[in-house]
Amino acid sequence: MPNHDIAGERWRISEVCLQDGRTVGLAEFGPVSGFPIFWFHGTPGARRQVPAQAMDHADRVGARIIGVDRPGIGGSSNHHLDRVINYADDIAEVASALHIDRFGLIGLSGGGPYVLAVCAAMPDQVAAAAVLGGVAQSAGPEKATGGPVPLLRPFTKLLVRAREPLAVGATAAIKLATPAADFVFDLYMKFGPKSDRDFLARPEMREMFLVDLLAASQVSFRAIIYDAVLFSRWWGFDVSDVATPVYFWHGDSDLIVPLSHGEQLADLVPNSWLSVIPGQGHLAMLDAAEDAIDVIMTYATAPPNSAGSRR
């Protein structure tokens, strides 16, 4: 297997300036001429939260993977979105700046809601999408139960009022914890869910998570609080209106985002398919990255809106 320098050599690090003056941090790998797939990181996470094997696979199949820092993390400016759906405006500007007319989407965990938002807002530009262990809505008519996200609902007003102080505190705490990152990681390896421990025991996975989170936190780590606010609200669109083909992967032993979230999302999206991974937890869904890339690449040359419904 080729040597992966997650700190930079295989990544093309850049920023896009939006019309309102904000910046969006990007990290790309795979051929520049390949079919573009935007990758939305989890919560917590940042633009380089992509497994090493996905890099090799992108090279093999001709996929241009573009990791995007959400507002308040890494290379992206601090910004308070009103709803999850508003994130699609940022992606529309990023795609235009990169001269990308059509693309795929992959989102891990907390990146899942943003994948669905872009699908809802830009149906003619998204060829297909994949959600790995994605979070369902915790408010509104399509709300799900179970997992930690619905627990945020009673604190929505407090989160909004205290959002920025909490965000500043989160960034400061992560910076202070940086020297002990290996120790914290080892603690999770000792007490975290077994399926995640087995997954993170791989050296390349440890490197990916540590480098990604620590590099992002050197600049800003506000996104985890910003996400918490948005996930406690209605997303601003109905998931059942998403017409894009969406493929879901979810572990049946996920203790962070329960399988019921993946089942509900797959049931709501008309053109969707759910793969339940037996015995696997939350972070192990990154093992589906290669399959997700393959699925999206099958739509790369298909005309828009050419996929048939599963119903």
**CB-CB contact of 44 with 279 (8 Å):** no
pLDDT one-digit tens code per residue, 94-129: 999 999 999 999 999 999 999 999 999 999 999 999
Does the predicted model carry a pTM greater than 0.85? Answer: yes
CA dist., res. 46 & res. 62, Å (int): 23
Lowest pLDDT segment from 199-208, 242-251, 280-289: 199-208
pLDDT at 285 over 70: yes
Burial zone of 106 (CB within 10 Å; 0-12 exposed, 13-18 middle, 19+ buried): buried
* Residues 46-98 pLDDT 10s: 898 898 899 999 999 999 999 999 999 989 999 999 999 999 999 999 999 99
Cα 36 to Cα 45: distance, rounded to the nearest angstrom:
21
Mean pLDDT of the chain: 86
Q: What is the pLDDT of residues 132-165, one digit of tens each?
A: 999 999 888 999 887 766 656 666 666 667 677 7
Q: Report the range of poorest mean pLDDT among 118-122, 172-176, 219-223.
A: 172-176
The yes-or-no verdict on residue 28 having pLDDT over 80 is yes
- CA distance between the termini of the chain: 41
